[in-house]
Amino acid sequence: MAAKKIRCGDEVIMLNGKDKGKIGKVQCIFSLKNRAMISGINLMKKHKKPVPDKNQPGGIFKKEASVDLSNIAIFNPDCKKADKVVFKIKDGKKIRVFKSSGNVIK
C-alpha cells in the first residue's frame, strides 16, 4: 500500500464545497473509503428524539461528517496556502516535505 500524503493531526484546507477555504485538523482517516474526518469542517445537523427511559434529551445536534480526500489539501503555514506533499529520503528514512518550500512536514 502506498504511503499516505495526509495523516492524522495534519492541518488541511478545503478546496471546494460549502466550507471552501476553511482550515481544520485531521482527526482520523478512513483509508478504505478514501475519506477523512476534519474538526470544524462539514458540520451536519442530526435530529434526535428524546429517550425518557435513559434520560436523554432530544433536539437538533451538530455533528461532523467525513470529507473525501480529493476535496482537501495540506495547508502550508509558511506561504499560507494549500500545498502538495513530496516524499524524500533523508538519512535512510522516508520523510514528507512541502513541494513549494521544501520544508519538512511536522
Domain count, the chain: 1
What's 55's domain CATH number? 2.30.30.30
Residue 85 falls within a domain, yes or no? no
Residue 96 falls within a domain, yes or no? no
99, 97, 69: which is closest to 83 by C-alpha?
99
3-state secondary structure 21-32: CCEEEEEEEECC
Residue 24 falls within a domain, yes or no? yes
Residue 87 falls within a domain, yes or no? no
> What is the residue range of 18's domain?
11-77
Instruction: Identify the bridge partners of residue 100 per DSSP, sorted by sequence position.
Output: none
Residue 61 falls within a domain, yes or no? yes
Give the mean pLDDT per block of 10 residues along the chain (106 residues): 84 96 97 95 96 95 96 96 96 96 92
Return d(Cα 12, Cα 69) in angstroms, integer: 10
